Amino acid sequence: MTETQTPGSMTTPVAGGNVGMGTQYLEVRGLTVDFDGFKAVSDVDLTLFQGDLRFLIGPNGAGKTTVIDAITGLVSGTGSVSKSGVELLGKKVHQIARLGVGRTFQTASVFEQMTVLQNLDIAAGAGRSAWTLLRRRSGVLPAIEEALEITGLADLADRPAGVLAHGQKQWLEIGMLLVQNADVLLLDEPVAGMSHDEREETGNLLRRIGSERTVVVVEHDMDFMRAFATSVTVLARGQVIAEGTVAEVQANPKVQEVYLGTAAAGTDALVEEP
């Protein structure tokens, strides 16, 4: 089940992974973000279900990061963004996070002087008072142990986050979302600057966590997208121009034109503009 979306049209869910198997979903309708008269995002529709590993791609300035900024409350938008029927637009950033919507940034935000375990413990205590945060827990929470295993950081639990490799810091930040019970994860270029092996490990991590969650990845690495996406949404000039499987969007003439300036390109040529 796929579709190519025109601005303002309703989005039909794109099949991928275990889409539709769970009850959690994220629905975006008519999302528009206006910066002093400039529409960075215009009338965007998205429907994402639990089990979807959705990639948002498009040239620089297409509005990809702005879309997830609006979903998470960092910028104001109009239209509707709902998570399992609960409207998110108009809520504060922390309120949206408590509803299970988490995000990462292009540069990992971790406490470098603290250990991996301490970073996860602080994230897990996001709703605790300042006094209880200062008190040492008597043991490691099961959610933290699970996050350490899922992210592959169990053997590094007592290491300062500052000594981690670039990719490991990104995995730690993802783990910090997991211990906050985020079931919608919005990841902004998670493999930027990673080695080939780190990209592979990150893709496998996203598959592990994605089966029971909704994961949205803003990405410029087309090889990474081809290898791990279950579905793809393509943005250009703030609007959705195509949606479907990797093969379907690669074969879409509009997508080829956006990336290469011609609709005559072969389907293997979906690459970022230099």
- Tokens standing for 97? 């996070």
pLDDT tens-digit series, residues 173-208: 999 999 999 999 999 999 999 999 999 999 999 999
Task: Say whether 34 sits in a helix, a strand or coil.
Answer: strand
Confidence of residue 239 (pLDDT cuts 50, 70, 90): very high
Q: Which residue, 176, 157, 182, is CA-closest to 109?
A: 176
Where along the chain do its domains lie?
25-109+182-260
Q: What is the reported pLDDT for 21?
A: 46
- How many angstroms separate the CA atoms of 180 and 99, rounded? 10
* Cβ neighbour number for residue 145 with a 10 Å cutoff: 16
The pLDDT confidence band at residue 140, using thresholds 50, 70 and 90, is confident
What's the whole-number mean pLDDT along residues 223-229? 96
> What is the fold, at CATH topology level, of the domain defined by 25-109+182-260?
Rossmann fold (3.40.50)
Amino acid sitting at position 106: Q
pLDDT band (50, 70, 90) for residue 249: very high
d(CA 2, CA 105) in angstroms, rounded, equals: 29
Read off the pLDDT of residues 56-71 as tens digits, 9 standing for 90 and up: 999 999 999 999 999 9
